[in-house]
Structure 1
């Protein structure tokens, strides 16, 4: 199996033991991603639409670094702290993925890693090996 790691460069990757993304044999898995800036601070506290758009932008960056793109995504998972935000979260997801329309799951969770964060996104993509 070939295995390539993508790092976001945060201290937490080594501490927790994870990678932003992994490419292995044509599959790219992007870890749960929240809307944070370069310093790890939440972006748009409490704003489900803005946080979803930002987090998915970070997911797209990780995909790109792993040699994949949004068009290669086959599955996403969205974790929200308030399921009543489903429309705002869904709108941002739809704007990112358009006609790609990956299999998607959205679930409500009691909380995320920071109280200002209201959505976390992860993705899986399939790419042709070169």
Structure 2
């Protein structure tokens, strides 16, 4: 097995260069497991997109996740698990509307929790995913 930590050019570098966006574990016999760091709705300069707006931030987050997946040859169809951190579970319907567009048929395993705050003011959710590339 080979572990690769990656920051694809398709997404702005992580804040303070303190972590990797993607941990990829290539598996014996082919295939790979992709673990993505949590993504928040920020623009390429790191500013929160539409502070407080769950739909706009959800769109941006899934755009970022899509870019990270694509950089490793994956799509949303390869996602096994979605973990969501929200500052207010009352915003869940808006998030759910956006998320449904990315997972219209097969629903991955999922965890959603409410947290007191996120690391950027105005950010209302953070989403991380785990995906698998199956070959053979």
The residue number in structure 2 matching 1:21 is: 22
- Out of 15, 18, 29, the residue aligned to residue 12 of structure 1 is 15
Q: 1:99 to 1:105 in 2, by over 3 A?
A: same
Matches within 5 A, 1:104-115: 104-115=110-121
Distance across 1 between alignment mates of 2:44 and 2:12: 9
C-alpha RMSD over aligned residues:
1.6
The residue number in structure 2 matching 1:45 is: 51
Q: 1:58 to 1:9 in 2, by over 3 A?
A: closer
Note if contact 1:35-1:51 (Cα within 8 Å) is conserved in structure 2.
yes
Which aligned runs of 4 or more in structure 1 are off by greater than 6 angstroms? none
Is 1:83 aligned to 2:89, yes or no? yes
- Out of 61, 74, 79, the residue aligned to residue 55 of structure 1 is 61
TM-score (norm 2): 0.87
Distance across 2 between alignment mates of 1:92 and 1:11: 24
1:105 Cα deviation after fit: 1.2
Structure 2 residues not aligned, in runs of 5+: 27-31
Structure 1 residues not aligned, in runs of 5+: none
Instruction: Determine helix, strand or coil for the equivalent of 1:90.
Output: helix
Distance across 1 between alignment mates of 2:119 and 2:57: 14
TM-score (norm 1): 0.90
The residue number in structure 1 matching 2:2 is: 2
- Count the aligned residue pairs: 128
